[in-house]
Amino acid sequence: MQIKASIEIKTEPERVFRLYQDAAHWVDWDPEVTAASLPDGLKLGAKGWLKPRSGPKANIQIVEVTQGTSFSVQTRLPLCRMWFGHSLSASGGSTVATHWVEFRGPLSFLFRYLVGRSIQASLPNTMYGLKRASEAQVSAP
């Protein structure tokens, strides 16, 4: 079962995707991230780390990238993998951004219970932050 949220952003997908590509600045628009690093950039197989607002620093790996459209990050937990997906689709001059989280593995039920509720509660704030930052790029000189 996925935790999922979407939001309409008044700009094209390429502008939103540029925010995704700059992991060091995810903190600028995602209130749930206090620091992140992807030294090799947003490309398939790239490894880095992310420090969430609540919880320990986690190693991450990019497991899917479609330039300008989507990317997915995986982190390993004991007997579970947590996937964070991000997708963008053009919609009449705007972009619909969708973020989802999924737990996979023998202990997925446990981690879904332990951290899933807080992710579900905070995901709308992340989406609003992405919307504000993306739309601010449009109005910037």
pLDDT digits (tens, 9 = 90+) for 11-70: 999 999 999 999 999 999 999 999 999 999 999 999 999 999 988 899 999 999 999 999
Residue 17 counted as domain residue: yes
Task: Output the pTM of the full model.
Answer: 0.91
pLDDT digits (tens, 9 = 90+) for 70-125: 999 999 999 999 999 999 999 888 999 999 999 999 999 999 999 898 999 999 99
Residue 11 counted as domain residue: yes
- CATH number, residue 78: 3.30.530.20
DSSP string, 17-81: HHHHH-GGGGGGT-TTEEEEE-TT-SSTT-EEEEEESSS--EEEEEEEEETTTEEEEEEEETTEE
Provide the residue range defining the domain that includes 106.
3-135
Domain count, the chain: 1
Q: How far is CA 8 from CA 12, 60, 72, 134, in A?
A: 11, 27, 20, 11
Residue 141 counted as domain residue: no
Residue 140 counted as domain residue: no
Residue 40 counted as domain residue: yes
Q: What CA–CA distance (Å, rounded) separates 44 from 29?
A: 23
Residue 131 counted as domain residue: yes
Residue 35 counted as domain residue: yes
| Residue 58: strand pairing partners | 50
